[in-house]
Amino acid sequence: MVAAPHERSISPLDASAKRLLGDRRLILAANRGPVSFSALADGTLRPRRGSGGVVTALSQVSGHVPLTWVASAMSEADRRAARSPAALDHAMPHEAVRLRFASVPRSVFEGAYNVIANPLLWFLQHELWNLPERPMVGASTMRAWREGYVALNRAFAAAVLTEVPRRDRSPRIMLHDYHLYLAAEPIRRARPDAILSHFTHIPWPSSSTWQVMPPAIREEICAGLLANDVAGFQTRRYAHNFLRSVESFLPDAHVDYHTRAVLRRGRTTLVRSYPISIDVAATQRIAGSRAARRRAQELLGQARERIVVRVDRLEPSKNIIRGFAAFETLMERYPSLRGSTTFLAFLVPSRTSIREYRNYGRKVQDAADRINARFARAGQQVVRIFYENDYAQALAGLTIADVVLVNPLIDGMNLVAKEAAVVNQRDGVLVLSETAGAYDQMADGVLPVAPVDLIGTAAAMASLRAGVEHEDITWWLRRQLDDLAEIAEGRLSG
């Protein structure tokens, strides 16, 4: 017998989930799943936990709501698994998650993922193009758009629709990130009653950045997002930029900046910000584990008294080269720090198949070598790079930092800033780019820097600790569930 809600203690998030879903499952679609597959020598499929910030964040959802997660089949092994629902169910026996794959031929996925989503949309939205030369959007790119990206989004819609029980009234569907801008429209056509939301995890730049792109692409993306009931972004600025984009590119849309809503073709889409966060308890648990504490002691033993730490995927938006150059400026200007300071850089390998990333990695190493050549004493490096994916070690680094440097050129949110704030044990300073999404929430507790400003960044490397405990990952999820529930109840509209 189930107890009546008021008789047991439930968390605000659980209450939000219950209110939105009732007896339904939440259907969530994102490019990466909680599990991916590889094929062993004998042909059997082996599941492996997914990694990456979005997966980590979305995996929290399954602790609070029954979930069907539709992901891309990204490899041949995934495509094989997609044909065997039993293998999928078997892969995650211990969780409240049902995994399903949207599966398209490899060439379609390549066009969607390796021509459009990552090299084009991700770079554009991070404003990282060297515009006089790249991108060239010609026939092959437009083919990848139509036959890759559009096709993959349709496949996602079809996979989602398969998972919607026919008798479910108003199925609740959440779509995620820049891979899936066009998935809502075909879902909406088939199920006009769906409660649909999309959340963009990366920045949404100003409309003038989108303006360089072919009209078909920018218009279809904006129109695609407007098939949702809610279009969510990391910050108010990104949400505002989206409203401006819609106004610029879709003449038949009516944009209301006051209510942050768009009316188009008889439908209203709310445009909202839901700053994403971390699982504070889990982060602190890992940082406080015996292994992490031992690693922290080892790092302390190998470093000097003052420690600067950064943790990033090794990629151009993270602004790692200028971070080192600013540290070099610090060494130049404060000779007293030279013998007493170590910079520990925990850099996670990322998209090493992309030439820009490899070139960038080489220049990062060159910058570290240059500083070590100038300032190393008695053979002890002043800049130490840890180039590996070791989350516990990176958290260990954050616990012992006097300064945590988070200086991206642009970043949708940046969870390292939030992790640093909850695990640091040394009253460390958080030096944070004003251009990171996290800055909007954390401005009061950090030292702000402008990303190209070496002197300002050097100067900011000096004591503080912020508190993000109450705006954590459940807060991010709960606010979205509540907005969707109100829509479902007909109470919240533009």
For binding to a copy of itself (CB under 8 A), which residues are involved?
A: 127-128, 130-133, 135-139, 142, 205-206, 208, 211-215, 218, 237, 316-317, 319, 321-322, 325, 329, 332, 360, 363, 409-410, 434-435, 450-456
Pairing relationship of beta strands 67-72 and 429-433 according to DSSP bridges: unpaired
Question: Would you say how long the chain is, in residues?
Answer: 494
Q: Confirm if 100 and 69 have CB atoms less than 8 A apart.
A: yes
- Distance in Å, CB of 347 to a copy of itself, minimum: 15
Q: Over the Cα atoms of the chain, what is R_g?
A: 23
User: Whose Cβ is closer to a copy of itself: residue 96's or residue 455's?
Assistant: 455
Rounded least distance, CB 312 to a copy of itself, Å: 13
Closer to a copy of itself by CB, 126 or 478: give it.
126
Query: Could you tell me how far CA 234 lies from the centroid of its own chain?
Result: 9
The DSSP element (H or E) to which 49 belongs, if any, is strand 45-49
In the complex with a copy of itself, the residue whose CB is nearer, 439 or 475, is 439
Judged by beta carbon, residue 303 or residue 458, the one nearer a copy of itself is: 458
Q: What phi and psi values does residue 397 have, to the nearest 5 degrees?
A: -60, -45
Whether the Cβ atoms of residue 186 and residue 108 lie closer than 8 Å to each other: no
Of residues 228 and 248, the one with the C-beta less far from a copy of itself: 248
Give min distance, CB of 410 to a copy of itself, in A: 8
CB of 360 to a copy of itself, least distance (A): 6
The structure tokens listed for 143 are: 């083919």
**Nearest Cα residue to 14 out of 66, 49, 57, 58:** 66
φ, ψ (nearest 5 deg) of residue 26: -85, 130
Sheet of strand 26-29: strand arrangement: 97-102, 67-72, 26-29, 172-176, 195-199, 230-233, 267-273, 261-264, 253-256
In the complex with a copy of itself, which residue's Cβ is closer, 228 or 414?
Answer: 414
C-alpha to C-alpha distance for 490 and 483, rounded to whole angstroms: 10
The answer to whether the CB of 198 falls within 8 A of the CB of 230 is yes
User: Could you tell me the CA-to-CA distances from 430 to 288, 368, 407, 449 in Å, in that order?
Assistant: 20, 21, 10, 10
Nearest approach in angstroms of CB 135 to a copy of itself is 6
Closest to a copy of itself by CB, 403 vs 454, is: 454
Cis peptide before 135 (omega within 30 of 0): yes
- Name the nearest CA neighbour of 172 among 163, 181, 180: 163
CB of 485 to a copy of itself, least distance (A): 33
Tokens at 154, concatenated:
């349709």
If the CB atoms of residues 448 and 494 are measured against a copy of itself, the closer one turns out to be 448
- C-alpha distances in angstroms, 20 versus 26, 260, 396? 9, 22, 38
Residue closer to a copy of itself by CB (options 225, 460) is: 460
If the CB atoms of residues 30 and 120 are measured against a copy of itself, the closer one turns out to be: 120
Closer residue to a copy of itself, CB minimum distance, 283 or 435: 435
Look at strands 306-313 and 341-348 and give their pairing.
parallel
Give the SS3 label for residue 94.
coil
Least distance to a copy of itself, CB of residue 476, Å: 23
Minimal distance, residue 449 CB to a copy of itself, in Å: 9
Residue 56, classed as helix, strand or coil, is: helix
| Closest approach of a copy of itself to the CB of residue 336, in Å | 18
Q: Residue 492 Cβ, how far from a copy of itself at the closest point, in Å?
A: 27
Of residues 392, 212, 217, 153, the one with CA closest to residue 289: 392
Smallest distance, Å, CB 437 to a copy of itself?
Answer: 12
The dihedral sign for the CA sequence 212, 213, 215, 220: negative
